[in-house]
Amino acid sequence: MADLLFEVGTEELPSWYVSSGGDALVALITERLTAAELVPSEVIGYATPRRLAVWAKGLPAATPRRAEERRGPPANVAFGADGALTKAALAFAAKNGVGDAALKRRDDDKGSYLYATVEVGGEAATAVLPELLASVVRDLPAPRKMRWGDEPTPFIRPIAWLLALLGDKPLTVEVAGVKSGTVTRGHRFLLPGEFQITSAAEYAEALRDRYVLVDRAERRSATWRAVEAAAAANGLVAEHDSALLDEVTDLVESPFGILGEFASGYLELPEEVLATVMVKHQRFFPTRAPGGRLASAFVGVSNNKVADEQVVRKGYEQVLAGRLYDARFFWRSDLRKSLSQHAWGLSGIAFQKELGSMADKTARVGETVGLLLDALALPQSEADAAKQALPIFRADLATEMIFEFPELEGVMARAYALAEGLPQATADALLGGVSPKTHEDAVPATAAGAVLALADRVDKLVGFFALGKRPSGSADPFALRRDGLAVARVLAASGWMLPVTTLVEAGAAAYANGLVTVTTDTQEAVVEFIWDRVASLLVENGAPVNAVRAAILGSVTVVGAARRVELLTALLALPEMTDLMALYKRAANLSKSSGQPIDGHAFDRPTRALGADVRPALFSEAVEQPLLDALPAAQRGVHELLALTKQQLPGWDLRDPAPRSLTGLEPHVAEVVSIKAPLDAFLDGVLVLADDADVRRNRLALLSEVVRVLRQLGSLEQLAGG
Amino acid sequence: MLFQEILARLDRYWAERGCVIAPPQDTEVGAGTFYPTTFLRALGPEPWRVAGIAPSRRPADGRYGDNPYRFQYFYQYQVILKPSPADVQGLYLDSLYALGIDPKAHDIRFVEDNWESPTLGAWGLGWEVWMDGMEITQFTYFQQVAGTDCKPVSVELTYGLERLAMYLQGKAHAFDVEFAPGVTLGDLRRDLEIQHSRYNFEESDPDLQRLLFDKFEHEAYRLLGKRLVYPGYEFVLRCSHAFNLLDARGVLSQTERQGYVQRVRRMAEATAKAYLEYEAAKAAGGESHG
């Protein structure tokens, strides 16, 4: 047993790659070692901006030995008439490196052949590892690799050195023009230079002594502690920002927090602007007075512990001051016009050449919003807020601030709206209308914002699909999947019973007399595209794929599908439901043969009276009437389950798991399951496809009713495994 | 340290590392990358090292001299090392020492920044170098130029001279930087900056620039067709500048803008092709007098 240490020293890695690259290295090395039968007991990964490394513990000294039988020539070729081995047989033995003694003939159902017993394995780890590690370097996944110098082998950034040790023995790994040694390097500025490592166990400690925290989790907590401490020294609290902390952690090998200040006059800017400038542009942590508003101070994280901290602080402050100066300049300059005046500028900003300008787009969005407001019975105040927001929706795109800080779109619209005295609800709708921009971003906070957001996204989807610019494979140049995901999330979070088809129709209607023709095929494609996004969100949150499929095929609204997924997942855990599913499947198959198609997305619609098509007069067997009689209870159970689900899950952002588990299902499940016995008896006791056409039709109608009742839970055939 | 002293020290530093200290190009360029000594020499297999001040123009970046960092005319210091040597980061940090900056006394960071020039059909990966939070240098390993893979790979270092000088002299505005004893950068460039900002944003004649673009483009292709690579490329640069002026004037729709970018890119690719053919023919001994 020996421990392997392998370090790839690089020029500075992109910060977003450090963590995932470290994980990828652990995964790939584990995979390759396992495939080579050098299975480690544990693999620990390290990652900093300048190195990715693994410590694979407990590697066997060699691959395991075992006997392997190899089939040679057929017996009639391997043996001469005299029973002696032929030339062919000897050649086979030589090829496998064994003597006569290892050869034997066997007759079995595969025929008669000569076999050689070959000892395999037993390769020394020191012999296997050099090429194995080189292959890991060559194959380490990265989104965009690069070449350097004359070297043809690409890597995410140029490789500066390699370190490979098995136990205390160096391994010679050669890849990408670099030959491994037993030295690593300390912190680029604090203790540069090479130094010897003699075992894997001492690696992390030895680097810690040289100002490198190789353990990423340790470096992350150290970074946050440094930030907190720097702020606390001035009685301030640093704003925790997980994404920023991740980024900063991977921009340093050792973190040193430095508190800086800016002129308090800049506090006239909206907090989001200040935070964006600090966080996005300078990677500084904003600070607050405890419980209070943003302070005119920030914490930067230096990678270097310098003799005179003033030098670095002054640098940080000067750069931030320049950025804030610009931001305040834009803020004041933008405020000279109202948002309605800025909105005039939208005609000069292209949306997409075939789909017109942003002014054309917002006009279409206005029409769609009108249609959606007709379809949704929103409180008057929300409808009013949406209508007030429309003429200035996305007007901030024409401001200088957004030209400079595009990520503040919506945030600035709200800030400018409030600054010019518009109502809070209108201002919130302007921000909500462009939310969520990313996976991390929240869904709109208000109903008015949600309506604008849906209209805006569906306009883009319909327009681009009509142009034939839909995503294919991994290519999604217009980020339409992001729009689809936003639609799915907003619809689910709103809790609105707005069919996806209605939304898409409202989007398409705004293109009438317009720039492109939106066919029904295009609309259907957009609808399916949105459902696919719904499915991917639900599956990402751990819902079983068959439950997702059953729920989506059985729903017309996104929130309906999301609720059904929760309900079906809960039901699937109950043993009494399993039997019912099997019976359901038989019933569904039969009723399908009646020629009534089982269509998707058909379940939130009002249905006709239960059993209206069944004529009891045509019953001839004793098991028919009981099934008809069992329908109302089952129907009641199903309705209660759906009502309960709706009540317990009013709607939530599909990015997150459902906010709670369903409770109190049992009595209603019992009602649903009460149909099992009569259904079982019916299926066993009658010939559904009777010769008499009227009887046949009547029995099929009865089964269809059973299916209809149960399918309100979802497209259950998806669950029954077919 | 005076601005001209910074320049002299960088020249000396890179000359000692085998670079040709090349005089600036005398046609308008958007960045040092457009220099023939960069754009063309990054193509093909021959080793090449060049450095020097690279005055550049980006009409849309004009701020009438108000913004301390942004100008429509500015000085870059451009270094090309082909093939990129091992430990080029160390070489770079040593150049900071040469300017009297001790990297150990600062927070210096190599922060990912990938570069792409749609007009040159070029892209590369690298960093922006931060010193105490301020970006002072762009660092790029060219992967493709004019749509062709770079073999070997060149590394380009672009120092923001104004920023470095501001830092070294502790000035808040680039125009306050002392260029020579008693002469500031503002003395040299303020009037020019204000007048050109007015020209770029208010006075330039879009119809003339469109016309010039068409004529220059025609001339570029005519010359490249005659294997006059350098004159042809100058007209490509002029097209690029005409496009930049139109862009600054805000008269291009998104579609139109994209169209111009593609036209410059096609010209850049045609130039690269003509250059490589010319060099190949020269190597074969066939091309010297046309």
Kindly tell me the sign of the dihedral angle through the C-alpha atoms of A233, A234, A235, A238: negative
* Residue A579 or B275, more confident: B275
Select the residue from B70, B107, B112, B141 to test the A interface by mutation, using most A Cβ atoms within 10 A.
B107
pLDDT at A576: 83
Angle between helices B161-169 and B3-16 (to 10 degrees): 120
Residues of A in contact with B254 (CB under 8 A): 349-350, 353
Q: How confident is residue B68, by pLDDT bands cut at 50, 70 and 90?
A: confident
User: Which SS3 state, helix, strand or coil, does residue B124 take?
Assistant: strand
- pLDDT tens, residue by residue, B184-240: 999 999 999 999 999 999 999 999 999 999 999 999 999 999 999 999 999 999 999
Distance from the Cα of residue A128 to its chain's centroid: 37
Give residue limits of the domains in chain A: 2-62+124-208, 66-120, 216-335, 340-540, 573-718
Cα→Cα distances A280→A219, A227, A248, A262, A385, Å = 21, 17, 11, 17, 31
Contact B84 A302 (CB under 8 A): no
Tell me the residue type at A457: R
Give residue limits of the domains in chain B: 3-201, 205-283
User: What would the mean pLDDT of B63-83 be, rounded to a whole number?
Assistant: 93
Q: Which residue has the tokens 């990402």?
A: A540
pLDDT at A607: 57
Contact B141 A158 (CB under 8 A): yes
- What residues contact A91, with CB distance under 8 A and at least 6 apart? none
Contact A146 B143 (CB under 8 A): yes
Give the separation between CA A122 and CA A405, rounded to whole angstroms. Answer: 62
Q: In this complex, which of A148, A251, A349 lies closest to B109 when CB atoms are compared?
A: A251
- pLDDT tens, residue by residue, A311-343: 999 999 988 998 898 899 899 989 999 999 999
Give the separation between CA B64 and CA A209, rounded to whole angstroms. Answer: 51
Question: Long-range contacts made by residues A507-511, C-beta under 8 angstroms, separation at least 24?
Answer: A507/A368, A507/A455, A507/A458, A507/A459, A507/A461, A507/A462, A508/A462, A509/A367, A509/A368, A509/A371, A510/A364, A510/A365, A510/A367, A510/A368, A510/A371, A510/A459, A511/A364, A511/A462, A511/A463, A511/A466
Contact B127 A12 (CB under 8 A): yes
Contact A435, A414 (CB under 8 A): no
Closest CA of chain B from A406, distance in Å: 17
Q: In this complex, which of B103, B151, B152 lies closest to A189 when CB atoms are compared?
A: B103
Distance from the Cα of residue A189 to its chain's centroid: 38
- What residues contact A195, with CB distance under 8 A and at least 6 apart? A183, A184, A185, A186, A206, A210
With CA atoms as reference, report the closest residue to A682 among A609, A587, A579: A587
Angle between helices A480-494 and A500-509 (to 10 degrees): 120
Residue ranges of chain A whose pLDDT lies below 50: 597-606, 722
Contact B108 A189 (CB under 8 A): yes
Gyration radius of chain A over CA positions: 34
pLDDT at A532: 96
Angle between helices A424-432 and A447-466 (to 10 degrees): 30
Give first-to-last CA distance, chain A, whole Å. Answer: 50
Tell me the residue type at A108: D
As a whole number of angstroms, the longest Cα–Cα distance in chain A is 109
User: Which SS3 state, helix, strand or coil, does residue B179 take?
Assistant: strand
Instruction: Give percent of chain B with pLDDT exceeding 90.
Output: 84
Give the separation between CA A534 and CA A63, rounded to whole angstroms. Answer: 47
Closest CA of chain A from B149, distance in Å: 10
Closest CA of chain B from A525, distance in Å: 27
* Residue B149: other Cβ atoms inside 10 A: 10
Contact A56, A25 (CB under 8 A): no
Instruction: Give percent of chain A with pLDDT exceeding 70.
Output: 97
Contact B44, B176 (CB under 8 A): no
Contact A553, A715 (CB under 8 A): yes
Question: Long-range contacts made by residues B17-23, C-beta under 8 angstroms, separation at least 24?
Answer: B17/B49, B17/B91, B18/B49, B19/B49, B19/B50, B19/B51, B19/B79, B19/B81, B20/B49, B20/B50, B20/B51, B21/B50, B21/B51, B21/B52, B22/B50, B22/B51, B22/B52, B23/B52
A276, two tokens: 């964006």
pLDDT at A101: 84
Kindly tell me the sign of the dihedral angle through the C-alpha atoms of A219, A221, A224, A225: negative
Tell me the residue type at B81: L
pLDDT at A672: 93
Backbone angles phi, psi at A162, to 5 degrees: -130, 145
Give the separation between CA A8 and CA A24, rounded to whole angstroms. Answer: 13
pTM to 2 decimal places: 0.79
- pLDDT tens, residue by residue, A363-388: 999 999 999 999 999 999 999 999 99
Closest CA of chain B from A129, distance in Å: 26
CA of B131: which chain A residue's CA is closest? A315
Helix (H) or strand (E) holding B112: strand B108-112
pLDDT at B126: 94
Contact B67 A303 (CB under 8 A): no
With CA atoms as reference, report the closest residue to B159 among B14, B268, B29: B14
- Which overall architecture, per CATH, does domain A2-62+124-208 show? 2-Layer Sandwich (3.30)
pLDDT at A608: 65
pLDDT at A721: 53
Give the separation between CA A251 and CA A301, rounded to whole angstroms. Answer: 9
pLDDT at A606: 46
Cα pseudo-dihedral A311, A315, A317, A322, rounded to 10:
160
Angle between helices B3-16 and B88-98 (to 10 degrees): 140
Q: Which residue has the tokens 């803008």?
A: B257
Helix (H) or strand (E) holding A72: strand A66-74
Question: By a Cβ cutoff of 8 Å, what residues of chain B touch chain A?
Answer: 67-69, 83-87, 89, 103-112, 114, 124-125, 127, 131-134, 141, 143, 150-153, 155, 167, 172, 250, 253-255
Q: Is A66 exposed, middle or buried (0-12, 13-18, 19+ CB in 10 A)?
A: exposed
Q: Is A1 exposed, middle or buried (0-12, 13-18, 19+ CB in 10 A)?
A: exposed
* Residue B47: other Cβ atoms inside 10 A: 12
- What residues contact A721, with CB distance under 8 A and at least 6 apart? A546
Work out the mean pLDDT of chain B and round it to a whole number. Answer: 93
pLDDT at B289: 54
DSSP A280: I
Contact A238, A227 (CB under 8 A): yes
pLDDT at B103: 93
With CA atoms as reference, report the closest residue to A603 among A674, A648, A552: A552
CATH 3.30.930.10 assigned to domain B3-201? The reply is: yes
Q: What is the CATH number of domain B205-283?
A: 1.20.58.180
Q: In this complex, which of B84, B103, B255 lies closest to A148 when CB atoms are compared?
A: B84
ipTM computed for the complex: 0.93
Q: In this complex, which of B106, B114, B134 lies closest to A319 when CB atoms are compared?
A: B134
